[in-house]
Amino acid sequence: MTEIKNVGILGSGKVGIVLAQLALAAGYNVRISGSGSVQKIALTIDTLVPGATASTNQSVVNNSDIIILAIPLSRYKNINSKLLKDKLVIDAMNYWWETDGIREEVLDPDTTSSEQVQKYFNKSTIVKTFNHMGYHNLQEDARESGDPNRKALFVAGDDHDAVDVVAHFVDTMGFDPVIHYQLSDGIMTEPGSELFGASLSKEALRNVIDNFDETEFGKRIKQSNN
C-alpha cells in the first residue's frame, strides 16, 4: 500500500482550508494552492493553517503523495489533466448549482460528477470522498479511531488499491470510511441525496446507502436511468 506522508490540496476555499487543518493535525506535510498567486493565499494559509505550505499547483502536485481536489466543480478543467498524471487524486467536489451555474455546462446529465472528473483526468486515479459532509462538520466532528461519536465518510472509486489507500487516509483524518468499489456510486452522496450535508455515524451512513433505492433521491435517480 502506498505510504502517504505528503498531502497536496488544490483549492484554498472553505473545504480546502479545513482539509488542510485536518491533514496537518494528523501529522502529514501539507501543501496547498489557490486560484491566484502563491503570495495571494500566503496570508490566509499562514493565519488559518500555520504549518502548511502555500504553493503553486505544480509544486503541490510534484511534492505530494496524494492530491485533493477542493475547488468548485466548474473549475476543474482549469487544471491541465496532464498535471495530475499517475497521481492518486481525491475528488472532494460536487456539482453545486448555487456556485457552478447551469447544469449541462458543468455536468453532463448522463453521468455522475466524479466519473466526469475521472474521464477528464484520464491518466490519474480518482477516488471520491470528503464531498458530502459540511465543511464545519468536517472540522468539528473529526475524532480518534474508536471514539463513540466518530462520524463516517463515504469513499468510492473503481481502483481497489486506491480506494483502500484513501480509506486508510480518511481514517487517519478522523473519520470511519464506508467503502464502495465503484466510482459511479458517488452519486449516492451528491446534492439532493439524504447524505448531502449530513454528518452520520458509520452505521447510520451504511443504513442510508444500503437503502438508497428507497430514498426519494434514489427513486428519482432510478427513474431517470430507466
Q: Which three cell numbers stand for residue 39?
A: 503570495
The smaller minimum CB distance to other proteins, of residues 29 and 192, is found at: 192
The residue (of 185 and 194) whose beta carbon lies closer to other proteins is: 194
Residues 158, 164, 166, 172: what is their CA dihedral angle, to the nearest 10 degrees?
A: 160
The nearer residue to other proteins, 29 or 139, going by C-beta atoms, is 139
Q: Is 79 left (phi over 0), alpha (psi -120 to 50) or beta?
A: beta
CA distance 11 to 2: 23
Residues 62/71, Cβ–Cβ less than 8 Å:
no
Residue type, 141: D
Nearer to other proteins, 1 or 102 (CB): 102
Least Å from the CB of residue 159 to other proteins: 28
Least CB distance to other proteins at residue 52 (A)? 12
When the beta carbons of 164 and 190 are compared against other proteins, the nearer one is 190
* CB 27, min distance to other proteins, A: 20
Instruction: Tell me the closest approach of the beta carbon of residue 4 to other proteins, in angstroms.
Output: 25
- Closest to 35 measured CA to CA, from 20, 19, 54: 54
Q: State in angstroms the smallest separation of the CB of 3 from other proteins.
A: 30
Q: Is the C-alpha dihedral spanning 95, 157, 204, 221 positive or negative?
A: positive
Which amino acid, 214? E
Per CB under 8 A, residues contacting other proteins are: 12-14, 17, 41, 43-44, 47-48, 74, 96-102, 105, 134, 136-137, 139-140, 190-199
